[in-house]
Amino acid sequence: MSARTMKAPDSPSTAASARLFRHLGALRLGVSGTLGLLVVLGWLLVALAAPWWVSDGAQEIGALPVFAPPQAGHWLGADYLGRDMLARVLLGARYTVVVALVAAMLASAIGTSFALLAVVGGGWFDAALSRGMDTLISIPSKLFALIMVAAFGSSVSLLVITAAVIYVPGSYRIARALAVNVAALDYVLIARTRGESRAYLMFREVLPNIIAPVMVDLGLRFVYVVLLLASLSFLGLGVQPPAADWGTLVRENLGALWEGGLAVVAPALAIASLTMAVNLVVDALPGRATRRRKS
């Protein structure tokens, strides 16, 4: 009889990673989720490619009559200084989409890393870090942003750092609540018994099993950051002229809403379309849809 070769069983971390890739490969977002994903990718493409699409002359002051109506070649009319409104909206996507995406990713990465470190470390370190995050999350987000801008001035880098700091505690609490349950499972305890390092436990045993809900939380954080940056710009504390994000465009033209309504409505619709599209994608994720049906 020929000897049969025994295949070594996959480790829990490898199996979890394989399951994650299978889920991503079989991802079905449905009609609404696919539509939302297309809108998000479209705005991201605009944000990255707008500087090459928009000509320099489109931003000249007085190139068009003030609040000129839509016309051929200027499909959204002009703003309060006679600048092409379509060009302003396209260029504003850089400061709304890219800045919000970087800040949300930074907040999610820092919050998740702290949560994994707290759960794996445990003891007084977990308690101290959790109490510190609770203290930070108790500060109203807009009040914290106003203090930061008043103290250090407004710049793109400061806005990214401020938004990231504001939403780190929320990401930490979500990730920690997920990681605590995973860290109590048998295969994590076995890995501890084997003497694996903290980094191994964090990124090979725990993280692969919580990455899906963490990505959902990342999408929600992105929406929160977009709305925060838009509100700061509406107050005049966000991106400063001559640069402008969508919130700045709304504030600049709001005084002439009846005369140049399209200059206000266009950036407002851009903000609404982006946030709604991200929510459609998040709601269409398989895990979230399954939990909603069960409830």
SS3 per residue for 38-70? HHHHHHHHHHHHHHHHCCHHHHCCCCCCCCCCC
Q: How far is CA 132 from the centre of its chain?
A: 23
3-state helix, strand, coil in the chain (%, to 5): 75, 0, 25
Tokens of 133: 């995050």
Half-sphere exposure of 254 toward its Cβ, with a 13 Å CA cutoff? 12
SS3 of 153, please? coil
Work out the angle between the directed axes of helices 99-121 and 156-183 (0-180°, nearest 10): 30
**Among 28, 32, 95, 110, which Cα is nearest to 280's?**
32
Can you give the pLDDT of all 295 residues of the chain as single tens digits? Answer: 444 433 444 445 455 555 544 544 445 678 888 999 999 999 999 999 988 888 766 677 877 888 888 888 788 888 888 899 999 999 999 999 999 999 999 999 999 999 999 999 888 989 999 999 999 999 998 899 989 988 888 889 999 999 999 999 999 999 999 999 998 888 888 888 888 888 898 988 999 899 989 999 999 999 999 999 999 998 888 888 888 899 999 998 887 777 778 899 999 999 999 999 999 998 887 655 444 544 4
Sign of torsion over alpha carbons 88, 90, 94, 97: positive
**Among 287, 204, 201, 200, which Cα is nearest to 15's?**
204
Cα–Cα distance, 209 to 207 (Å, whole number): 5
For residue 35, CA distances in Å to 30, 229, 273, 278 come to 8, 25, 11, 10
Q: How far is CA 172 from the centre of its chain?
A: 15
Cα–Cα distance, 122 to 184 (Å, whole number): 12
Q: H/E element holding 80?
A: none
Note the CATH architecture for domain 65-294. Orthogonal Bundle (1.10)
Question: Which sequence spans correspond to the domains of the chain?
Answer: 65-294
